[in-house]
Structure 1
């Protein structure tokens, strides 16, 4: 039942982005990530690798995807163009590309969560009418990890941020993304709902679920962090992977608040356990955890 301490990464690139992908992968390996590489993969190959990666992410602490391929938008949605994709009309996207959100849904399967970092490469051919290269990260989506979208010119500064963090003892993904999002030409779809550690100091076995460490590069909490609306907290909970929800249930059980199945489903027993935990802290009993409660419960 213990959380895996693995960090896994999928690195996807076409011919034009091979050097960028090599550099990004090298830094991820410095952090200690296990990397799965897809170089110039066609649509069938990439879908197969993505399915495999989702399984690896579900057995990991954290997961990250780096994409260096053309990403186009159509009717408000973003699509990744695998190598060899030929588009004669806009609707060819539905059979010859992969939704960008599919990568975000795979990385969020990790116990703590994950993210997608994408460099929007140029296309070899002109795009059909109604299609254009993506210029901004998509809107947040339930059940998906945050997505950082960047132009090729932003890659250098983004790599420098990763390279600066890689040798440190602790690397927290949310803080890393926030720093990358400040680079000109980069945008971020959403903030990380809870700490995700790409690298953390070794801890005793009983503390391996989530180490009690201080994130690096993390920005100070704003005065409104505690004033979260119910809608925000429900969205936070919905963003948690099943593995993360099982971790919450295990920690509630360890503290004597929960006696139900550790199944990753928040039913009446889990709600009652959360309320009891909140009562023990002399806080409002809502049955929905705040960000602070999630963090404290994991330490």
Structure 2
């Protein structure tokens, strides 16, 4: 990829015509993506932040060594125009034979020789920074394994260096230092997870200052504005994983963040405001360290309460199964109408009530002890518990069990019941429009149509709730990984919800007593990603 350059200084010179040139705030922004997720959008966001603050930008994304060399040569030629200077490097940085280097796109090998041959010494960037002593800042967002050796830097006088994880460094620079105008001395490096080195001057500020002549008259430093909620949160330097944990905690408390992706978009901000309102806090949509800690405690309490409810749910179900009566299962449903086993309780009630009706009708047939009474029992319960005994009694009373037509009618009805579909019952009615089971077939068709309509409405509601979640690829990857971890096979974990993933979602919903739709509605998201 070729280097990109925004020459604001040149454009200003052309626009203003003859006259003295004003000094420029310059920024060099380089990113080597490697294994970083979302590296290019993050790079573009950094560039926009510097551009919006009035910096003359030199930028490069995934450059090879030749392109990087040409870009740095051009950048060095412009340094004499710099007033403030920021160099923001993101990507792979290694210690090679005592020399810290930035590795461009095609860098290969792990030996010191290979790293030195392909890398660019960080000392070069420190030399650039000495061109604007007291107003130079070097941000190093290093992508490295946790056990990677540290970088040894010799920071010149008048230069400030910040080192840390890529997303943490980027968030602090663009949010706290540029967006909020905070100096390095206002940032709690330990809490933020970064390291500062060099001349930590309170005068170093990276935010917009307006155009100033190259040799301005000294003016008193204005009193710093009170930190805004946005600036205070930015100063925490939250990593992507820390943001995901916050989103998981909000979800555990019933708030809809529209994804667990580590990005605080409109959905997450709305969820934070809703939680703040419920907690009686100022609902500004931004978090302090104290609020983050309180949120974690609230979420842990909610998870513990949910776990206790589930244990009580399972205990009540075990009690109902032990009794195995309609009354026991109804007591379970009264306590847990949307419990883990609600559907199974309803199904068992239907079976037990059918058996109860079967026994009651058989008792009436026995009391009458007539051929007509036993035939009524057989019509009502063609697959009943006492079918054989009813037929035997009809024969004993001198009657025929059934005619050939009645037998065919009964067999066709039994086949329709085994399939239990609208098509099967319609086929029965086509063959026996006035058959022994015609009324029951019509009633069953209507019941299945009602159930189908309700199921369609439930699926449509779930589909709409999933759409409102606004799930991005990162969120879907997390959901697929969570399903796989729980034993529900989503297929390839690729950030796409295909038929296999839909099947895994349906299985998860069925196992957890949720509405089975195959879509990620609010209840499913809370159960799936709200816990740990």
Q: 2-side partners of 1:32 and 1:200: how far apart?
A: 6
Match for residue 28 of structure 2? 10
For structure 2, the 5+ residue unaligned runs are 1-19, 227-532
Shift of 1:72: 0.8
1:179 to 169, 181, 187: 187
Cα contact 2:29–2:87 (8 A) shared by 1: yes
Cα contact 1:63–1:115 (8 A) shared by 2: yes
Match for residue 116 of structure 2? 94
What pairs with 1:98-177 in structure 2 (closer than 5 Å)?
98-110=120-132, 112-122=134-144, 133=148, 135=150, 138-142=152-156, 145-152=159-166, 154-155=168-169, 158-159=170-171, 162-167=174-179, 171=181, 175-176=183-184
Match for residue 70 of structure 2? 48
Shift of 1:19: 2.7
Q: With the length of structure 2 as denominator, give the TM-score of the two structures.
A: 0.33
Shift of 1:90: 1.7
Alignment pair present for 1:59 and 2:78:
no
Match for residue 281 of structure 1? none
Q: 2-side partners of 1:143 and 1:36: how far apart?
A: 24
Q: With the length of structure 1 as denominator, give the TM-score of the two structures.
A: 0.56
RMSD: 3.5
Q: Which has the larger radius of gyration?
A: 2
Q: Which has the higher contact order (CA 8 A, sep 6+)?
A: 1
Sort the Cα spacing of 1:185 and 1:56 in 2 relative to 1 into closer, same or farther, 3 A: same
Q: 1-side partners of 2:166 and 2:82: how far apart?
A: 29
Shift of 1:69: 1.3
Alignment pair present for 1:73 and 2:95:
yes
Shift of 1:212: 3.3
Q: 2-side partners of 1:142 and 1:166: how far apart?
A: 23
Sort the Cα spacing of 1:151 and 1:163 in 2 relative to 1 into closer, same or farther, 3 A: closer
Cα contact 2:92–2:103 (8 A) shared by 1: yes
Sort the Cα spacing of 1:90 and 1:26 in 2 relative to 1 into closer, same or farther, 3 A: same
Cα contact 1:14–1:82 (8 A) shared by 2: yes
Q: 2-side partners of 1:147 and 1:66: how far apart?
A: 10
Q: 2-side partners of 1:83 and 1:98: how far apart?
A: 12
Match for residue 414 of structure 2? none
Match for residue 57 of structure 2? 35
Sort the Cα spacing of 1:92 and 1:163 in 2 relative to 1 into closer, same or farther, 3 A: same
How many residues align? The count is 202
For structure 1, the 5+ residue unaligned runs are 124-131, 219-299
Match for residue 208 of structure 1? 216
Cα contact 2:62–2:104 (8 A) shared by 1: yes
- 1:164-197 residue CA offsets vs partner (Å, 9 max, x unmatched): 45456xx46xx24762734443112223458344
Of Structure 1 and Structure 2, the greater helix share is in 2
Sort the Cα spacing of 1:90 and 1:165 in 2 relative to 1 into closer, same or farther, 3 A: closer
Q: 2-side partners of 1:85 and 1:206: how far apart?
A: 40
Shift of 1:119: 0.9
Shift of 1:108: 2.6
Q: 1-side partners of 2:23 and 2:68: how far apart?
A: 26
User: Aligned to 1:146, what secondary structure does the other structure show?
Assistant: strand
Match for residue 203 of structure 2? 195
